[in-house]
Structure 1
Amino acid sequence: MSVRVEVHPALFQWARRRSGIDEEVWPKRFPRFEEWVAGDKQPTMRQLQEFAAKTYTPVGFLLLDEPPVESLPVADFRMPKARGPSAAVTGNLLDTLYAAQARQEWYRDNQLLHNEPPVGFVGSATTSTPPERIGASMREALGWTSDVRHDLRSRQDALAQLRERAEDLGVLVMISGVVGANTHRRLDPGEFRGFALADDYAPLVFVNGADARAAQIFTLAHELAHLWLGASALSDVEPESGIEFAEERWCNAVAAELLVPMAEFRHALDPVANLQGQLEPLARRFRVSTQVILARVREAGELNWDEFMSELDIERRRIAALRVERSTGGGGNYYNTKPIQVGKRFARDLLVSTFEGRTSFTEAFRLLEVKKVSTLEGLGRSLGVL
């Protein structure tokens, strides 16, 4: 006879919220869940272990008297709807953060081992520094000119180019829409858009690749602004977050100036013409989303806050009704997508260290989340290491 394990119903509910699993698939995946929550029946240890594995929850947590409080390792600048008690931090977000921290730690140690200098721009600004000045400084550092934008064919090319230029400055840029290599664990842009992990030797930016590409571009710029402040942060990059958090307001302003310089924007905007008809052409010109363009229209003094929020709501509903192009971090050529997910700069240096014998293959497997030497070799060839 199987021994039943007594679990407090609140822990089942907590694990459900933490898992991030869609409501639609939950009943089919966990048919006994309602019985367990109601206390009509308790799971066996094997069933509990299976439930823990499928919800990405440490099984020991389910044996506690009450749900644990898992604190985020970075400042949380998301809107209350994404960070309130009813929307518990998911294991998807936590596991993504922890994996990024592990890669950052390795890279920092590697930089110090080779006596590499710190990255100069990290912490070079404060929120008292005019965003226009930092936006211009970032444009110069990244070489993000109107001519560069004009030569890009799409937002996908713009994102790739901005990512490459940020990495050339010494930033570890990771873009993925899934947790690690698990395509079943999709990251929810409604929970977070990105985060920055500030460090003098290993500044890191993570962008949620499940978001629309135009949104990813702004997120990347926003998180780079956090690095200029020298402050780690978790963001949802919503205009409303700037009302509650001065740092988010500043980073939004810097990102906007980097991507859509106000002087150029005023020249391109026709204040007399129909606004709706200008949104998409301007968005294509600057390689950003129409929502960013709306924000710049407000900042140019052509919309007040209430008008902006009204137009933004219309645009959000229009976009939601469309089939937005997304990059989930899955599909395509594995040896092209994997380095983007973990950061090309990081992957290249880790593979060099591994093949030269300074880092163990076991460590490389863990940090890159691969299982075979042949996969490491394939990645090495794709990155020009082998």
Structure 2
Amino acid sequence: MLNRFEAREKATAGFLEKAARELSVPPFALMMRAPLPLSYQLPDFRSTNPTPGVFERQTLEAIEQARAIQRRAVAFGHSSNPLPASRLDPGTLEQTAARFRRFLRLSDQRQYDCKDALEFYRLCRFEIERHGIFILHRSFPSVDGSGFCLADPPAPIICVNTMAQTAGRRLFTLAHELAHVTIGASGVSDPFIRKNDTEIICNKFAAALLAPKSLVSRVVTELRLDPNPSRVDIARVAKRLKISQQASVIRLEELQYVSAGTHRRWLTGINVSGDPDTETGGGGGGPTPQHKVKLARFGFSFAKVFGAALRDGALAPIDLYRLTGLKPKYQSAYFNFASLARYDDAEEE
């Protein structure tokens, strides 16, 4: 294909450099007779039979950076805490999710008292990272999924795609990727594309983790929810549960609080009016302090491990910059802030 393009368009060296950049390979790879072997390829769990996927440059860069962070964390001796389970059996998912909620200190009341989905997301992230799992934020094309995980012990990493995802949707992505870490299945996912058994079981776990039956029952009772709810009703449930609207309607139907087919009807409605779980605009207000922005992007586990390495001289500021893009002028402020920060101190730009 490249040869035909060159013959037709008289491709310049500049074009070849751009093409190589988009493919995340060195320019000479385009001239090789055999494909350049790739060192690491993540399965795409959005397919029926998950195999190594083909992703956009920004996604490939996010994956490679996460891999580099993981390798360096392991070299520093980091090890996450054992999770409450290492498998997810369909028949015991509710019980397993309940064990995880205790492990993460997510009581019904603590969740209910959160101001909104964003606060609950930050709380869940903090509690997961408290056990040594890395949670990174990166923005890459939404066509490449909602997030990915590198489940390899002893330093598993979850990366949440911040592109056009509301806090509620990020929350479900986070819980879904935690399920992938639990069963040791690294890969790229979109919780709302379910074409294989792994994604189905990870979704069911995420729903049970974020919306336990006891809390859903409380909200249904408080709102006197009709078995044939309107989209306004679904939005009210989601607001009380602090999760996305789609996750709410799926869970309500799963627990038989609403009639069969409610989720399908809800999907039909948003195809006309727009998806309420997708962000369509920016925020406002003044600039966010950079130490809070870095905390949102890299998280608490990263700050603990790499801040210690920097203080101990095991890592130089310029090496940390080359690894992550975190400029030396922001490093100390971020690491010092993260050591004392609360779960809700991380803020996006």
TM-score by length of 2: 0.82
Comparing 214-223 with 349-358, greater Cα deviation is found at 349-358
Q: Is the 8 A contact 1:171 1:202 kept in 2?
A: yes
Structure 2: gaps (5+ residues): 341-349
Residue identity matched to 2:325: E
Relative to structure 1, is the Cα distance of residues 254 and 50 closer, same or farther in structure 2, using a 3 angstrom cutoff? Answer: closer
1:241-270 per-position Cα deviation (integer Å, ceiling 9, x unaligned): 1xx311111110111011111233234332
Q: Is the 8 A contact 2:166 2:278 kept in 1?
A: no
Q: Is the 8 A contact 2:84 2:100 kept in 1?
A: no
The match for 1:31 is none
The match for 2:185 is 231
Comparing 122-131 with 249-258, greater Cα deviation is found at 122-131
Q: CA deviation at 1:62?
A: 2.9
Query: Residue 44 in 1 paired to residue 4 in 2?
Result: no
The match for 1:61 is 29
Alignment of 1:254-293 (within 5 A): 254-269=205-220, 270-272=225-227, 274-293=229-248
The match for 1:158 is 120
Distance between the aligned counterparts of 1:323 and 1:222, measured in 2? 17
TM-score by length of 1: 0.75
Distance between the aligned counterparts of 2:73 and 2:318, measured in 1? 16
Distance between the aligned counterparts of 1:360 and 1:322, measured in 2? 41
Residue identity matched to 2:247: V
RMSD: 3.2
1:49-95 per-position Cα deviation (integer Å, ceiling 9, x unaligned): 35544775532233246877869633321147xx999x942122221
The match for 1:346 is 302
Q: Is the 8 A contact 2:234 2:249 kept in 1?
A: yes
Q: Percent identity?
A: 21
Distance between the aligned counterparts of 2:98 and 2:272, measured in 1? 32
Residue identity matched to 1:264: L
Distance between the aligned counterparts of 1:217 and 1:245, measured in 2? 21
Q: Is the 8 A contact 2:29 2:35 kept in 1?
A: yes
Distance between the aligned counterparts of 2:10 and 2:35, measured in 1? 17
The match for 1:137 is 99
Residue identity matched to 1:356: D
Distance between the aligned counterparts of 1:50 and 1:273, measured in 2? 53
Distance between the aligned counterparts of 2:230 and 2:255, measured in 1? 13
Q: Is the 8 A contact 1:209 1:326 kept in 2?
A: no
Comparing 228-237 with 218-227, greater Cα deviation is found at 228-237
The match for 2:346 is none
Q: Is the 8 A contact 1:176 1:340 kept in 2?
A: no
1:96-145 per-position Cα deviation (integer Å, ceiling 9, x unaligned): 11111111111122235xxx6x5211762234562111211111111112
Residue identity matched to 1:218: F
Distance between the aligned counterparts of 2:173 and 2:66, measured in 1? 17
Alignment of 1:100-179 (within 5 A): 100-111=66-77, 119-121=81-83, 124-128=86-90, 130-177=92-139
Indicate which of 191, 195, 200 corresponds to 2:148. Answer: 195
Relative to structure 1, is the Cα distance of residues 319 and 136 closer, same or farther in structure 2, using a 3 angstrom cutoff? Answer: farther
Distance between the aligned counterparts of 1:163 and 1:70, measured in 2? 31
Distance between the aligned counterparts of 1:197 and 1:84, measured in 2? 15
Q: Is the 8 A contact 1:213 1:325 kept in 2?
A: no
The match for 1:8 is 3
The match for 2:266 is 311
Relative to structure 1, is the Cα distance of residues 286 and 382 closer, same or farther in structure 2, using a 3 angstrom cutoff? Answer: same
Distance between the aligned counterparts of 1:293 and 1:104, measured in 2? 33
Relative to structure 1, is the Cα distance of residues 226 and 327 closer, same or farther in structure 2, using a 3 angstrom cutoff? Answer: farther
Q: How many aligned positions are there?
A: 330
The match for 1:367 is 323
Distance between the aligned counterparts of 1:201 and 1:135, measured in 2? 22
Residue identity matched to 1:341: R
Q: Is the 8 A contact 1:170 1:202 kept in 2?
A: yes
SS of equivalent to 1:383: helix
Residue identity matched to 1:256: A
Based on CA coordinates, which of the two structures has the bigger radius of gyration?
A: 1
Q: Is the 8 A contact 2:147 2:160 kept in 1?
A: yes
Distance between the aligned counterparts of 1:62 and 1:315, measured in 2? 43
1:299-357 per-position Cα deviation (integer Å, ceiling 9, x unaligned): 123343x55323223235433489836789xx733221123222321133212211221
Structure 1: gaps (5+ residues): 1-5, 10-36, 178-186
Relative to structure 1, is the Cα distance of residues 264 and 204 closer, same or farther in structure 2, using a 3 angstrom cutoff? Answer: same
The match for 2:279 is 324
Comparing 373-382 with 166-175, greater Cα deviation is found at 373-382
Moved over 4 A (4+): 53-57, 64-72, 325-328
